[in-house]
């Protein structure tokens, strides 16, 4: 036995054969098996050795791949070597599960090491009692900074901001500023611009690093700083802040309090998360699944889907009562029951299409001024056009299937009516919800399909009843 006996058997070939990520970019199955064996065998040092080179994002991915008890064992075994910022990279349910399994004292120790924005992110979802206990165990300076951030409303810029930033006075020269940056050890980890402030911390200008670097040492800061910079109010919603980032292609923006004092900065990596969350939220609201994640428990999932399914059940029962009005009609002509779902289904789909375009346009603020009128006009014409095209198609098919031109004409007319209704309500429902300051994505789909179902069945059965004199 050589003296590297603390390397696991086969350790030499490890990197070559058991790559961390396979060709698909997923975590290698062999790599993961080995890690799990280390955890199970309580081989802390071996485990720490393979975890050490990983980026926090990769640590997050590993945590998500493990079973609940393995995750907690891993964090415990790593101890002080575990970088808590990895928890910002995992699903909320996993994050809470790990945080709740650890003693508050240990969390407090870890929080003191983290960037302010990461610490806030980890603390904000904890129970108030746990949070207070952790805060009180922190050094005064960190405690106050975290408390101030946590006092801002959820999803505000103040909550997301990083409170470390570099502020310099306007009368310094570039040389003085560079010397300051070289000397000061207590700077933020990453920064993209300097903030030029007066004595009251009001922002006079900003100086991106690339511009700063290209200036001569003797140049005064105020001569080269950018004025007219975009600033974000700490109380502003993070989605609003994200829109500023996108609109003006920013990488970092200053956050000011109600007195206009610089209190923190938002960086693009936070904003990328916000943009992602926002789009994700829209998709999930449209399908009625709330803020679900794949790692949610079964019980949470059942609960989160109940409201939407309940609303849909009520709507479906309502629709069925509309059909019930035509009991006698259907009794005389069973073909109507066979054909009626076609009209409803086409209306539902066309309505969902229009609604989706409208919801996205509202989210991107693309329906200002004249554009809404133009969209309504377009959707009406599209409804008529697609209505007529598909009416002819289904009319012909039906006429052949049942050998009745009349039945073809009835289903065709119902189709045209329902497609126009679909286009109209596909716009009106999300726009109305938006005007009422509700999120247009929520519940739009169930409203739209309920209306197209009702109109679809009513128009088809009604026209048929009149045409064939079945009332």
Query: Which of 59, 168, 271, 431 forms a contact with its own copies (CB under 8 A)?
Result: 271
Query: Which of 385, 405, 406, 466 forms a contact with its own copies (CB under 8 A)?
Result: 385
Residue with tokens 């035509």: 326
Give the gyration radius of the chain's Cα atoms. Answer: 30
- CB distance 105 to 133 below 8 Å: no
Angle in degrees, CA 444, 448, 453, rounded to 5: 150
Sign of CA dihedral 237, 280, 453, 404: positive
Angle in degrees, CA 297, 298, 302, rounded to 5: 120
- Interface mask toward its own copies for 5-44; x: CB under 8 A: --------------------xxx-x--x------------
DSSP-derived secondary structure for 40-104 = HTT-HHHHHHHHTT--HHHHHHHHHHS-HHHHHHHHHHHGGG--GGGGGGS-HHHHHHHHHHS-H
Site for its own copies in 365-384 (CB under 8 A): 365-371, 375, 378-379, 381-382
| Number of helices and strands in the chain (H, E) | 22, 6
In the bound complex, what is the minimum distance in angstroms from residue 180's beta carbon to its own copies? 10
Task: Name which of 105 and 309 has its Cβ closer to its own copies.
Answer: 309
Cα separation of 157 and 172, whole Å?
30
Query: Which of 319, 407, 431, 443 forms a contact with its own copies (CB under 8 A)?
Result: 319
* φ/ψ of residue 94, rounded to 5: -70, -40
Output b/e per residue, 422-460; b: 16+ Cβ within 10 A.
Answer: bbbbbbbbbbebbeeeebbbbbbbbbbbbbbbbbbbbbb
Q: Can you read off the two tokens belonging to residue 338?
A: 């066979």
* Cα 395 versus chain centre, distance: 43
- Interface mask toward its own copies for 164-183; x: CB under 8 A: --------------x--xx-
Q: How many residues does the chain have?
A: 471
In the bound complex, what is the minimum distance in angstroms from residue 385's beta carbon to its own copies? 5
Site for its own copies in 409-438 (CB under 8 A): none
Give the interface segment with its own copies, choosing from 37-45, 92-100, 118-126, 289-297 (CB under 8 A): 289-297
> Applying CB under 8 A, does 187 fall inside the site for its own copies?
yes
- Interface mask toward its own copies for 189-208; x: CB under 8 A: -xxx---------------x
Give the interface segment with its own copies, choosing from 12-20, 50-58, 140-148, 254-262 (CB under 8 A): 50-58
Site for its own copies in 80-119 (CB under 8 A): 91
Query: Total residues at the site for its own copies (CB under 8 A)?
Result: 119
Give the interface segment with its own copies, choosing from 75-83, 100-108, 144-152, 385-393 (CB under 8 A): 385-393
Site for its own copies in 325-354 (CB under 8 A): 327, 330-331, 334-335, 337-342, 344-346, 349-350, 352-353
Q: What does each C-alpha distance from 416 to 5, 20, 133, 246, 420 come to in angstroms?
A: 79, 57, 64, 41, 6
Q: Can you read off the two tokens belonging to residue 423?
A: 């286009």
Task: Name which of 9 and 403 has its Cβ closer to its own copies.
Answer: 403
Site for its own copies in 58-77 (CB under 8 A): 58, 61, 64-65, 67
Query: Which of 128, 216, 435, 437 forms a contact with its own copies (CB under 8 A)?
Result: 216
Task: Name which of 137 and 268 has its Cβ closer to its own copies.
Answer: 268
Query: Which of 288, 412, 430, 462 forms a contact with its own copies (CB under 8 A)?
Result: 288
Q: Can you read off the two tokens belonging to residue 111?
A: 């929080």
Query: Which of 37, 105, 223, 279 forms a contact with its own copies (CB under 8 A)?
Result: 279
């Amino acid at each position: 036995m050589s003296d590297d006996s603390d390397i696991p058997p086969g350790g030499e070939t490890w990197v070559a054969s058991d790559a961390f990520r396979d060709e698909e970019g997923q975590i290698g199955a062999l790599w993961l098996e080995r890690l799990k064996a280390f955890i199970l065998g309580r081989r802390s040092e071996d485990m720490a050795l393979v975890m050490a080179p990983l980026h926090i994002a990769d640590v997050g991915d590993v945590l998500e791949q493990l079973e609940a008890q393995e995750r907690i064992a891993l964090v415990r075994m790593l101890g002080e070597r575990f970088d808590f910022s990895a928890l910002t990279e995992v699903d909320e349910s996993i994050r809470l599960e790990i945080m709740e399994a650890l003693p508050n004292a240990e969390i407090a120790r870890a929080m003191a090491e983290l960037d302010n924005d990461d610490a806030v992110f980890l603390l904000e979802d904890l129970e108030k009692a746990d949070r207070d206990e952790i805060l009180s165990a922190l050094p005064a300076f960190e405690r106050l900074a975290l408390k101030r951030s946590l006092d801002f409303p959820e999803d505000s810029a103040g909550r997301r901001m990083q409170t470390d930033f570099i502020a310099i006075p306007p009368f310094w020269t570039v040389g003085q500023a560079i010397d300051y940056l070289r000397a000061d050890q207590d700077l933020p980890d990453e920064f993209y611009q300097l903030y030029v402030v007066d004595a009251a911390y009001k922002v006079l200008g900003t100086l991106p690093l690339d511009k700063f670097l290209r200036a001569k040492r003797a140049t005064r800061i105020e001569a080269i700083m950018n004025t007219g910079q975009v600033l974000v109010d700490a109380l502003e919603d993070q989605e609003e802040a994200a829109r500023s980032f996108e609109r003006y292609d920013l990488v970092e923006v200053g956050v000011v309090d109600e007195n206009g004092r610089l209190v923190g900065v938002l960086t693009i990596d936070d904003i990328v998360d916000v943009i992602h969350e926002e789009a994700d939220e829209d998709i999930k609201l449209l399908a009625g699944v709330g803020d679900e994640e794949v790692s949610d428990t079964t019980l949470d999932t059942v609960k989160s889907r109940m409201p939407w399914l309940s609303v849909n059940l009520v709507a479906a029962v309502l629709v069925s009562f509309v059909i019930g009005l035509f009991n006698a009609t259907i009794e005389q002509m069973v073909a109507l029951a066979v054909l009626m779902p076609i009209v409803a289904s086409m209306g539902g789909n066309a309505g969902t299409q229009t609604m989706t375009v409208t919801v996205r346009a509202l989210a991107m603020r693309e329906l200002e001024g004249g554009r809404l009128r133009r969209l309504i006009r377009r959707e009406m014409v599209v409804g008529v056009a697609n209505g007529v095209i598909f009416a002819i198609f289904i009319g012909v098919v039906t006429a052949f299937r049942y050998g009745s031109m009349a039945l073809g004409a009835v289903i065709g007319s119902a189709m045209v009516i329902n497609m126009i209704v679909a286009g109209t309500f596909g716009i009106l429902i999300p726009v109305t919800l938006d005007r009422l300051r509700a999120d247009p994505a929520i519940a739009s789909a169930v409203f739209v399909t309920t209306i197209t179902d009702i109109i679809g069945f009513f128009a088809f059965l009604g026209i048929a009843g009149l045409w064939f004199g079945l009332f």
